[in-house]
Amino acid sequence: MGRGKVELKRIENPTSRQVTFSKRRNGLLKKAYELSVLCDAEVGLLIFSPTGKSYHFGSHDMDGTIARYKREVGLSISNERGLRQTQVGRNEIEDMKRTLESLEERDKHFSGEDISMLGMRELKQLERQIRIGVERIRSKKRRMISEHINWLKRKHKLLKEENIHLQKQVKMHEPQESGSTGNSNPILLDPEADEMVG
């Protein structure tokens, strides 16, 4: 009985993706070797892993094979620099795509999505990261509340001082006759009261 058909799409689980890469890379290198021996073909195979590590097989001198390939497709030395820059640009774009995919995947994990493929180790690591994140948020929240309370205390103190100052000014400008009318109560200004008490 033959193997089932594998759907060709990017493997989401990093561990499974790495295992598949290693197995298929070895298979590809073996096939390249067999082709060169069985058919006396000049074979050059170059593989770059997602982490940027390179693997290659050359049945002959690899530099010679690459130079021959360039001659065959009409690549001159003058445009080699441009091709190299283009390749560097492509590599940077690919790196950014992988970084973006990794961040999007991580973001989903933090919100509890797509975690069915994660193992116990990954789940524990995710839980630890979330716990650290929550503690940082709580710490920031406590600091902000404390700063706000201190600001309110300073404001209260300033208002209290202003109230005392206003009371002194009212006493200074109080008419002298108020003593003769029998009203000896001073006028108090309370910033939290709606009206003056006489």
Produce one character per residue of 157-186: b if its CB has 16 or more CB atoms within 10 Å, e if not. eeeeeeeeeeeeeeeeeeeeeeeeeeeeee
What Rg, from alpha-carbon coordinates, does the chain have? 39
Q: 197 pLDDT band (50/70/90 cuts)?
A: very low
Which of residues 51 and 179 earns the better pLDDT score? 51
Least confident among 52-66, 99-113, 133-147, 160-174: 99-113
Q: Quick check: 127 pLDDT over 60?
A: yes
pLDDT for 158-181, tens place per residue? 999 999 999 999 988 877 545 544
pLDDT at position 188, please?
52
Q: Provide the terminal-to-terminal Cα distance of the chain, rounded to the nearest Å.
A: 103
Among 102-106, 108-112, 163-167, the range scoring the smallest mean pLDDT is 108-112
Residue type, 101: E
**Which residue has better confidence, 166 or 115?**
166
Task: Specify the pLDDT at position 192.
Answer: 53
Report the residue count for the chain.
198
Which tokens hold the place of 147? 């700063």
Report the alpha-carbon distance of residue 8 to residue 17 in Å, rounded. Answer: 12
User: What pairs with residue 188 in β-bridges?
Assistant: 197
pTM of the model: 0.36
Between CA 180 and CA 79 the distance in angstroms is 107
How would residue 28 be classed by pLDDT, with cut points 50, 70 and 90?
Answer: very high
